[in-house]
Structures are given as structure tokens and as C-alpha cells.
Amino acid sequence: MSGLFIERYEGDGQEWDSYVASHPGATSYHRYFWRRVVEESFGHRGFYLLARSGRRSVGVLPLIHMKSRLFGNFLVSVPFFNYGGVLSSGAAATEALLKEGERVMAACGASHLELRHLGEPLPGLATRSHKVTMILELAADPEGQWGRFNPKLRNQVRKAQKSGLEVAAGGKELLDGFYRVFCRNMRDLGTPVYGREFFENVLDASGAGARVVSVLFEGEAVASGIMTRFRDRVEVPWASSNRDFRERCPNNMLYWEAIRLAIREGARRFDFGRSTPGEGTYNFKKQWGAEPVPLYWQYLLRQGTSLPELNPSNPKYRMAVKGWQKLPVALTRLVGPAIVRNIP
């Protein structure tokens, strides 16, 4: 490509989003408004790299810089979400974006740059492929989708429907209920919880198509999730249920209602989100008919740096997880956001 150069983009997002909209491999999180969501919610700085050939946009690489004493100094494309990475119109643009990413790394003193790729991995980069996303191809109507489920799953949904549970879908008026369930579930998992402001910003973001779906028992949320929309795909990036109500199967009802809503709005795919093959969440998603799609998390590493191990299975964090599970939920809501803002 002649005249190829990289700009650290600070525009209004129109040119950026126009390129993203034109690219078949784009994900929701390549879009520019997510930069504002992350910067305003967590205080991290974004470096959004736009490749140009002449006057034509030929690639993008959204980067977020994260730095803390506890978890280190690094860049991620894109943290807090499942997808990101390089989006380009050719090998030359990809190479130029990666080289500029290395320059940003050096300027920030970062140890590594993480690229969360969905689809084919880039050659020559250190890669982890231990996670998958679970995608359900949707039927043309809810009745057709229902017929694809196995009898056990249908019975679990029917049990929920007969257990005094109700469903509500909407916006920020349902956020308090979602957040109560989410905070309790994250505490039980031993994971610090996002601040409520983050979810407010997601629901406020024009273009995300975000809404809350909640399962209620006697007017109180016992399972709840936030849905987003991009092209023909509906995603549920955040969903939780109160384990005290497990016998009523509220989680099954939550996902069935979310799937029905997605079909009625014309979606063709339902994204259950990231899982580790063989674990409980993977098996739960698999029973709906969702199929695994590999995720490739790839790395640019500073010389002498090894692959990062920022995950709960790392022995370094195992004791912290167990300790967190014993804390009162109210305390985790207070201190969790300050910790999790630095965990990508």
C-alpha cells in the first residue's frame, strides 16, 4: 500500500466507525464508543490507532493502557470484553499497526500488548487459545428454536415458568436488580465486581443496543443479564443468578427469554460469551445447542517478558479468591471496583 501511515486517532468516531462497519471481521468492541465507556468507567487511557493509505482508512487497532502496582503495566485490545485486536484490509496495514503498537508499548513502559482475536490468529505472535466463545445459530422463530432443545432443557424452562417466576426487559429502571444479583454472584465466585457506573455507561451508549433482562420472584430479581446487539448477533456479556433460587431454574428462564427476544428482533446468532471447554459454564451453554468458536489471545512481549498469568487459576491469586468469597457482599461492592478496574 502506497502512502501507508498510522494515526493516533482522536476524532469524533465517524471515520473510525465507518471503517469498522465496512469490515466483515469487525466485532462490537472495535466500535469507537467503547473507548468512551472504558475511559469514563475505569479512568484508563485509550490509544486508538488508525491506518491510512492516502485518504483511505485501511485498518484499526483499539488499545487501552492499564497500569497498577498489583497487576502490572500493559495494553489490551480490548479489556473487559471478549473481542478486539487488529482489524485491517491487508498484511501491510496489519504490520504497520503492530509496529505502532510496539511504539505505544515502549512509550508506556508496558510489559506486553494483548490482542483478543476472534477468527484467524495472526502468524508469528505468542498465542493462547484456551478459551472459546459459544455461538448459537438461531431459528427463524421461537417455536422452531424450542423444538431444537432437548427434553431436559425444555423441562427446566417449564419448571421455571411454573415456579412463580416472571420476566421483565427494559433499561436502567432494571439496573438495581441486575446489580444486586451480579454483586452477589461475583462475590460467590471470588471475583471483584465492576462498579455500577460501568453498566450505566453501557446502557447509555448509543449503538450498543443494550438492555436488561431480569427474572423476578415476588418482584425481586433472582437472575438478570445485560444484552447487547451488533449486526445480526445478540450477546449477553454479563449475566448472573442467585444460587438461593437454583431449584426454580431462573437461569434457564433468563436465557430462554433472551433468546426469544433476540429472534423476535431479527437476530441470527446468539453469543453466550467466553468459556473454558469442559467447565460448568461451557456445559451449560452447550446444552442450548451453542457451538464453540476459538478465541486467540495473542501477545506482543517486551524482550525478556513471559506470557501474563492474570487469571483466577494462577496460584498467585488462588488464596485471594478464597478470601474474597468470605467477605460480605456490601464490602465487595465498596472495594471491588477499585481492584477490578485493573483486571482486564
Percentages helix, strand, coil for the chain, rounded to the nearest 5? 40, 30, 30
Instruction: Output the CA–CA distances (angstroms, integers) from residue 159 to 46, 162, 163, 246, 250, in the order listed.
Output: 46, 5, 6, 11, 9
Is 223:240 a contact under the CB 8 Å cutoff?
yes
Query: Could you tell me the domains of the chain?
Result: 4-129+296-308 (3.40.630.30), 139-267 (3.40.630.30)
CA angle at 105 for the pair 101 and 109, rounded to the nearest 5° = 175
pLDDT at res. 7: 96
Q: CB-based burial of residue 34 (10 Å sphere; 0-12 exposed, 13-18 middle, 19+ buried)?
A: buried
Closest CA to 65 of 78, 54, 55, 56: 78
pLDDT at res. 310: 66
Is 149:267 a contact under the CB 8 Å cutoff?
no
Task: Indicate the helix (H) or strand (E) that contains 94.
Answer: helix 91-108
Give this prediction's pTM: 0.93
Task: Indicate the helix (H) or strand (E) that contains 33.
Answer: helix 33-42
Instruction: Output the CA–CA distances (angstroms, integers) from residue 234 to 107, 210, 211, 276, in the order listed.
Output: 37, 10, 11, 20
Dist CA 11 CA 98 (whole Å): 21
Dist CA 255 CA 225 (whole Å): 9
Dist CA 88 CA 319 (whole Å): 42
pLDDT at res. 315: 61
Q: Residue with C-alpha cell 465487595?
A: 332
Beta bridge partners of 4: 53
* pLDDT, one tens digit for every residue, the chain (344 residues): 558 999 999 999 999 999 999 999 999 999 999 999 999 999 999 999 999 998 899 999 999 999 998 889 999 999 999 999 999 999 999 999 999 999 999 999 999 999 999 988 999 999 999 899 999 999 999 999 999 999 999 999 999 999 999 999 999 999 999 999 999 999 999 999 999 999 999 999 988 999 999 999 999 999 999 999 999 999 999 999 999 999 999 999 999 999 999 999 999 999 999 999 988 899 999 999 999 999 999 999 988 787 887 665 556 667 777 887 888 989 888 989 999 999 98
Count the neighbouring beta carbons within 10 Å of the beta carbon of residue 297.
22
Closest CA to 93 of 61, 139, 135, 69: 61
pLDDT at res. 244: 94
Closest CA to 81 of 7, 138, 31, 121: 31
Instruction: Output the CA–CA distances (angstroms, integers) from residue 187 to 102, 191, 293, 327, in the order listed.
Output: 37, 6, 29, 8
